[in-house]
Structure 1
Amino acid sequence: MLAIAGGKGGSGKTTTALGVAGALAQRRRRPLVVDCDLDAPNLHLRAGVDRDPGVDAPDPEAAGRKAAALPGVDVLPAGDADGDDLAAALAALPADRPVLLDCPAGASEAAARPLRVADATVLVTTLGHESVEDAVKTAAMARAVGTAPCVAAVSREPSVTDGLRAALGVSECVAVPDVPAPLTADAATAAYARLADAAGADSFAGGEAQT
Structure 2
Amino acid sequence: MLAIAGGKGGCGKTTIALGVGQALGTPTKPSLVVDTDRDMPNLHRRAGVDPTPGIADITASTEPTAVAQRATAVENVDVLPCQTAPEGVVDNAIGSLPRRDRPVVLDCPAGAGPDAARPLRAADRTVLVSEPTRQSLTDAAKTAAMARSLGAPPAIAVLVGSDGSVDPSPLLSCPETVHVPSVSKPLESDRAAAKYVEIANVLAKRNT
Same fold (TM over 0.5): yes
Q: CA deviation at 1:200?
A: 2.8
| Structure 1 runs not aligned, ≥5 long | 205-211
1:64 matched to 2:82: no
Q: CA deviation at 1:11?
A: 0.5
Q: CA deviation at 1:127?
A: 1.2
1:130 pairs, out of 131, 135, 145, with 135
Q: Which of 80-89 and 192-201 deviates more? A: 192-201
Q: CA deviation at 1:184?
A: 2.4
Aligned to 1:56, the other structure's residue is in SS state helix
Determine the structure 2 residue equivalent to 1:13: 13
C-alpha separation between the residues in 2 aligned to 1:41 and 1:175? Answer: 25
Q: How does 1:47-62 map to 2 (within 5 A)?
A: 47-57=47-57, 58=59, 59=62, 60-62=64-66
One-letter amino acid of the counterpart of residue 7, structure 1: G
Q: CA deviation at 1:28?
A: 5.8
Q: CA deviation at 1:61?
A: 2.4
Q: Compared with structure 1, are the counterparts of its residues 147 and 76 closer, same or farther at alpha carbon in structure 2 (3 Å cutoff)?
A: same
| Structure 2 runs not aligned, ≥5 long | none
Aligned to 1:200, the other structure's residue is in SS state helix
Determine the structure 1 residue equivalent to 2:125: 120
Determine the structure 1 residue equivalent to 2:98: 94
Aligned to 2:56, the other structure's residue is in SS state coil
**Which segments of structure 1 move beyond 3 Å, counting only runs of 4 or more?**
26-29, 201-204
C-alpha separation between the residues in 2 aligned to 1:198 and 1:32? Answer: 19
One-letter amino acid of the counterpart of residue 142, structure 1: A
C-alpha separation between the residues in 1 aligned to 2:80 and 2:188? Answer: 21
Q: Give a deviation string over 1:38-63, Cα, whole Å, max 9, x none.
A: 11110011011111111111233211
Q: Compared with structure 1, are the counterparts of its residues 118 and 160 closer, same or farther at alpha carbon in structure 2 (3 Å cutoff)?
A: farther
Q: CA deviation at 1:185?
A: 1.2
Maintained 8 Å contact 1:123/1:135: yes
Aligned length: 203
Maintained 8 Å contact 1:98/1:201: no
One-letter amino acid of the counterpart of residue 94, structure 1: P
1:184 pairs, out of 174, 185, 188, with 188
TM-score, with structure 1 as normaliser: 0.90
Determine the structure 2 residue equivalent to 1:208: none
Maintained 8 Å contact 1:98/1:202: no
CA RMSD of aligned residues (A): 1.8
C-alpha separation between the residues in 2 aligned to 1:186 and 1:66? Answer: 21
Q: CA deviation at 1:158?
A: 2.3
C-alpha separation between the residues in 1 aligned to 2:36 and 2:125? Answer: 15
C-alpha separation between the residues in 1 aligned to 2:185 and 2:89? Answer: 33
C-alpha separation between the residues in 2 aligned to 1:132 and 1:2? Answer: 20
Determine the structure 2 residue equivalent to 1:76: 80
Determine the structure 1 residue equivalent to 2:109: 104
Maintained 8 Å contact 2:19/2:187: yes
> Percent identity between the aligned chains?
49
Q: CA deviation at 1:202?
A: 9.0
C-alpha separation between the residues in 1 aligned to 2:56 and 2:206? Answer: 27
1:175 matched to 2:179: yes
One-letter amino acid of the counterpart of residue 53, structure 1: P
